[in-house]
Amino acid sequence: MPRRVDHEERRRQITDACRRVVARDGLEAATFQAVAAESGVSVRLVQYYFGNKHGLLVATHRAVIEGSAARFGGGTSPGESAEPPPPRAVLRALLVAQLPLDDARRADAVVLAAFHAAALTNEAVTPQELRGAPRALVDLVAAQLLRERGDGALPGDRSGPGDRARLDAELVLASAAGLTQGILAGHVSGETALAVVDRLLDHLVDPA
């Protein structure tokens, strides 16, 4: 047996470098040579661990998605003993966590935007286990809205409170995506985005 190496750590090291390259110079700049130079290994090694470019890009896409998802759970894990926080606070934390308000989240958002745009015309860069993720987020937001409004009838009702909560949940997620896009493009400041989030929550919890 020759010397063994932690494959997962090496792959993480390389996908991290790829993530930095994409965040800095865009998806088309993520060549084997650029990623190898950024991660401090040889071109041959990148090829060895990911086979071809498609494998590298898919692995990087999955890594950045998992990294972003990990930031969601960070604020809600402790405090199981106390009573659950009010739904408005949960929703606000969920929205704010999505916004690219610091450099790390901005880099992730830029990378995700690059992959998102590429998926519109390529559809092979998205790992196929991620197709249903937005639907789960809608359910989560809708559940919080129903909890806030005191209505518990979630399963399939026509034009009932559950239907309205579902539309409001789509509105919440669309607003978060749009605000993220505006912040990245420089059209919207971070303070304005936070004010818009609070204004949206006012609309959602005020009129019952």
Is there binding between residue 101 and a copy of itself (CB under 8 A)? Answer: no
Distance CA 107, CA 143 (A): 30
- Contact region for DNA (CB under 7 A) — 38-46, 59-67, 153-161, 194-202? 38-46
* Contact window for DNA (CB under 7 A) among 25-33, 74-82, 92-100, 123-131: 25-33
Binding test (CB under 7 A) with DNA, winner from 38, 41, 105, 171? 41
- Position 121 contacts DNA (CB under 7 A): no
Among residues 118, 124, 153, 154, the one that binds a copy of itself under rule CB under 8 A: 118
Using the minimum distance from each CB to a copy of itself, give the nearer residue, 148 or 168: 168
* Shortest reach from residue 178's CB to a copy of itself, in Å: 3
Instruction: Output the smallest distance, CB 146 to a copy of itself, in A.
Output: 15
From the list 24-32, 60-68, 105-113, 126-134, the region that binds DNA by CB under 7 A is 24-32
DSSP notation for 11-40: HHHHHHHHHHHHHHH-GGG--HHHHHHHHT
Q: Which residues contact 85 (CB under 8 A, 6 or more apart)?
A: 79
Q: Are 94 and 72 in contact (CB under 8 A)?
A: yes
Cα angle 134, 165, 142 (rounded to 5 degrees) comes to 45
Contact residue for a copy of itself among 134, 152, 160, 190 (CB under 8 A): 134
How is residue 49 written in tokens? 């661990």
Yes or no: say if 114 and 150 are a contact pair by the CB < 8 Å rule.
Answer: no
What are 87's two structure tokens?
């739904």
The residues in 22-51 that bind a copy of itself, with binding defined as CB under 8 A, are: 22-29
